[in-house]
Amino acid sequence: MDEDSFADWEDASDGAPVDETLEEALAEERTLELESELEQDEHPRDYNAELEDEEEEAAPTSEKRLKREIRAEALRRLEEAARTESDFLTVVDEWNKLDRNRERRERDYENLRGDVPLEFQAVPDPKIAPLWMNLPRFRQLC
């Protein structure tokens, strides 16, 4: 074989840009998470003020419920009245805003354990610990 036949092969260094873009995306995601945590620390939201208390809930029409219904009706009317591209972009922006708020609420209240599966680092044939300690339902408690 001659040296030229190996010229078309990809080196391990050829895959580096993919890894770099992945690392950049992960770094950007971590930065956004840290910024949102910092914002939450600097300006904590009073979720109790956003929720209805027992008195408001018992009332036939609470102020917060009315505001929520008015916003939903306004969005529905905006969707129905959209005719141009800019109108549709406005509707999409409103839906994106609602999604961001929903995701923020989920992030603030979820017990995030990461993307690591619960079976990660489970001992396949344990010698000391019992086998049931490897079960995901037990590992969630630890």
H or E segment to which residue 131 belongs:
none
> Cα(21)–Cα(27) distance, rounded to whole angstroms?
10
Predicted TM-score (pTM) of the model is 0.39
Q: Identify which of 50, 48, 98 has the alpha carbon closest to the alpha carbon of residue 76.
A: 98
pLDDT tens per residue, range 124-139: 777 887 878 877 777 7
Q: Which residue is it, tokens 């929903």?
A: 102
Q: And the tokens for 77? A: 């009317």
Better-scored residue on pLDDT, 86 or 9: 86
Q: Which residue is it, tokens 């008195």?
A: 55
pLDDT of residue 32 exceeding 80: yes
> Cα(85)–Cα(68) distance, rounded to whole angstroms?
27
Q: Which residue is it, tokens 């630890």?
A: 142
pLDDT at site 87 = 93
- Among positive and negative, which fits the CA dihedral 87, 92, 95, 96? negative
> Cα(74)–Cα(91) distance, rounded to whole angstroms?
11
Q: What is the DSSP string of 75-94?
A: HHHHHHH--SHHHHHHHHHH
Instruction: Name the percent of the chain lying above pLDDT 70.
Output: 67
pLDDT tens per residue, range 44-97: 777 666 666 777 666 667 788 888 899 999 999 999 999 999 999 999 999 999
